[in-house]
C-alpha cells in the first residue's frame, strides 16, 4: 500500500541544533534565576545542610564570594534568609536594625551594589516556636504579626534592600507592608508576595537549612490546602488589590497547574519557588547515578518558564547558570 504524501512534517524544524534554536518557543537565561542564601552570625562559617547537598548556612564573609559569583554569572538576584543567634517569641531579630539579615544586606550592597537583593519577610526563622507570627492562645495572631512585618520591611529598606518578599501567608500582609514602606518614604521598594503558598511536604529540607521546624502543631491553619485550586486565584487577587508588584507560587513541581492559572488570570510578573524537597530529590537521584542531573534540572527550570514563570527561585541557580555559560 502506497504511503500517502505528507505535506506537514514537523520534524523539518527539528533536524539540527540551529533550526531548533531558531524556533524555540521558551527561553531560559541566568537572569530568570534567583539564588536563596541562608545567613548566620559569625565569621568563617560554612555549615553544609545535610539534606541539601551543595547548600550551606553561611556567615556573611562566606556569602560574599557566592554573591559575587551570582552577580558575575548574571543571575536575576539573591534572596536572603536569616538564622539569628538568639530566637524569641516575637522573632525580634527580624525587625532589629542590627539583625542578621539587615547586616547581610548592608555588607552585600557595599561589596556588590549592583547585585539585586531580596529579603524574605517572615518571622518563622526568628521565633523560638518557628511559627510565622506572634502566638496568642496557641494560634498565630494574624493582625499582631502584620505590625511586626511592617517594622521588618522598613529595617530592610533602611539597610538597602531592593525588594521584600513576604512569605508567611498572613491575611492583609501585602497591604500592611505597603503602608509601612510608603509611610517610611520607601515608595519604590517592590513587593514580591508569596501569594500562593501551600502547606507542603516538599519543604522538609528547608527546615534543616532555616532551623524553623514548628515546636508545636503545623502551618496548615495559614498555608494553603494542596487540594485547592480556586482558592489560589482568590489569594492572588487579594494580593494584587493590596498592591503586590509580583506574585509567587510555592512549591513548584506539583503546582505548575496553579502557576498556569495565575499566568492566564493576571498580568503581573510571576515567580515560582523550586523548593528544597524538589532540589533534594534531584540531588539524591543524581548521586545514585539514576538521572542526568544537568539535563533534569534544565528541563525542570524550562518547564517552569513554559508554565508562565518570569523568575525561578532555585538552589540550582549557580549550577544552572554555569551550565548555560558552558554551552
Q: How confident is the model at residue 82 (pLDDT cuts 50, 70, 90)?
A: very high
Q: Which of 87, 250, 283, 327 is catalytic?
A: 250
State how far the Cα of 262 lies from the Cα of 15, in Å rounded to an integer.
35
* Helix ranges restricted to H, the chain: 17-22, 60-72, 100-111, 142-159, 173-183, 204-210, 230-242, 256-265, 276-287, 293-307, 317-326
Residues in Cβ contact with 21 at an 8 Å cutoff, skipping those fewer than 6 apart: none
State how far the Cα of 280 lies from the Cα of 231, in Å rounded to an integer.
28
Q: Which residue has the higher pLDDT, 6 or 61?
A: 61
Domains and CATH numbers, the chain: 27-326 (3.20.20.70)
Is residue 90's pLDDT more than 80?
Answer: yes
Could you confirm whether 87 is annotated as catalytic? no
For 40-71, what is each residue's pLDDT tens digit? 999 999 999 999 999 999 999 999 999 999 99
Q: What is the mean pLDDT of the chain?
A: 95
Q: How confident is the model at residue 1 (pLDDT cuts 50, 70, 90)?
A: low
Is residue 5's pLDDT more than 90?
Answer: no
Phi and psi for 272 in degrees, rounded to 5? -135, 145
For 206-248, what is each residue's pLDDT tens digit? 888 877 778 776 778 889 999 999 999 999 999 999 999 999 9
DSSP code of 89?
T
Ramachandran class of 137: left when φ > 0, alpha when ψ lies in -120 to 50, beta otherwise = left
Q: Residue 23's CB: how many other CB atoms inside 10 A?
A: 8
Could you confirm whether 283 is annotated as catalytic? no
For 241-278, what is each residue's pLDDT tens digit? 999 999 999 999 999 999 999 999 999 999 999 999 99
Phi and psi for 34 in degrees, rounded to 5? -125, 130
Is residue 327's pLDDT more than 90?
Answer: no
Q: Which of 47, 68, 109, 197 is catalytic?
A: 197
For 91-110, what is each residue's pLDDT tens digit? 999 999 999 999 999 999 99
pLDDT in the model for residue 217: 66
| Cis geometry, peptide bond prior to residue 10 (ω within 30 degrees of 0) | no
- The DSSP secondary structure of 182-236, one letter per residue, reads HHTT-TT--BEEEEEEB--GGGHHHHHHHT---SSS-STTTSBPTT-SHHHHHHH
Q: How confident is the model at residue 284 (pLDDT cuts 50, 70, 90)?
A: very high
Beta carbons of 210 and 125 less than 8 angstroms apart: yes
pLDDT in the model for residue 319: 98
Rounded to 10 degrees, the C-alpha dihedral 63/101/186/167 comes to 100
pLDDT in the model for residue 103: 98
Q: Is 281 helix (H, G, I), strand (E, B) or coil?
A: helix
Amino acid at each position: 500500500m502506497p504511503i500517502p504524501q505528507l505535506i506537514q512534517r514537523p520534524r523539518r524544524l527539528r533536524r539540527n541544533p540551529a533550526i531548533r534554536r531558531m524556533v524555540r518557543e521558551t527561553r531560559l537565561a541566568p537572569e530568570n534565576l534567583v539564588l536563596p542564601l541562608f545567613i548566620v552570625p559569625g565569621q568563617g562559617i560554612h555549615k553544609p545542610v545535610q539534606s541539601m547537598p551543595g547548600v550551606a548556612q553561611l556567615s556573611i564573609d562566606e556569602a560574599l564570594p557566592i554573591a559575587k559569583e551570582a552577580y558575575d554569572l548574571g543571575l536575576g538576584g539573591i534572596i536572603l534568609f536569616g538564622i539569628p543567634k538568639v530566637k524569641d517569641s516575637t522573632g525580634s531579630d527580624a525587625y532589629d536594625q542590627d539583625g542578621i539579615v539587615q547586616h547581610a544586606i548592608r555588607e552585600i550592597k557595599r561589596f556588590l551594589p549592583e547585585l539585586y537583593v531580596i529579603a524574605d519577610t517572615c518571622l518563622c526563622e526568628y521565633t523560638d516556636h518557628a511559627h510565622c507570627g506572634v502566638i496568642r492562645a496557641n494560634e498565630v495572631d494574624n493582625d499582631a504579626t502584620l505590625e511586626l512585618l511592617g517594622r521588618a520591611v522598613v529595617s530592610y529598606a533602611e539597610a538597602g534592600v531592593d525588594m521584600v518578599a513576604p512569605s508567611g501567608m498572613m491575611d492583609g500582609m501585602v497591604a500592611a507592608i505597603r503602608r509601612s514602606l510608603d509611610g517610611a518614604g520607601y515608595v519604590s521598594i517592590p513587593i514580591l508576595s508569596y501569594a500562593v503558598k501551600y502547606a507542603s511536604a516538599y519543604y522538609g529540607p528547608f527546615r534543616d537549612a532555616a532551623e524553623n521546624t514548628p515546636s508545636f502543631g503545623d502551618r496548615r491553619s495559614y498555608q494553603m490546602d494542596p487540594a485547592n485550586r480556586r482558592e489560589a486565584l482568590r489569594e492572588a487577587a487579594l494580593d494584587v488589590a493590596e498592591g503586590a508588584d509580583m506574585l509567587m507560587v510555592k512549591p513548584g513541581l506539583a503546582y505548575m497547574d496553579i502557576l498556569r492559572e495565575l499566568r492566564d488570570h493576571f498580568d503581573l510578573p510571576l515567580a515560582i519557588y523550586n523548593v528544597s524537597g524538589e532540589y533534594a530529590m534531584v540531588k539524591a537521584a543524581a548521586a545514585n547515578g539514576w538521572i542526568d542531573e544537568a539535563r533534569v534540572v534544565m528541563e525542570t527550570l524550562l518547564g517552569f518558564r513554559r508554565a508562565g514563570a518570569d523568575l525561578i527561585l532555585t538552589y540550582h541557580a549557580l549550577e544552572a547558570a554555569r551550565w548555560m555559560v558552558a554551552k
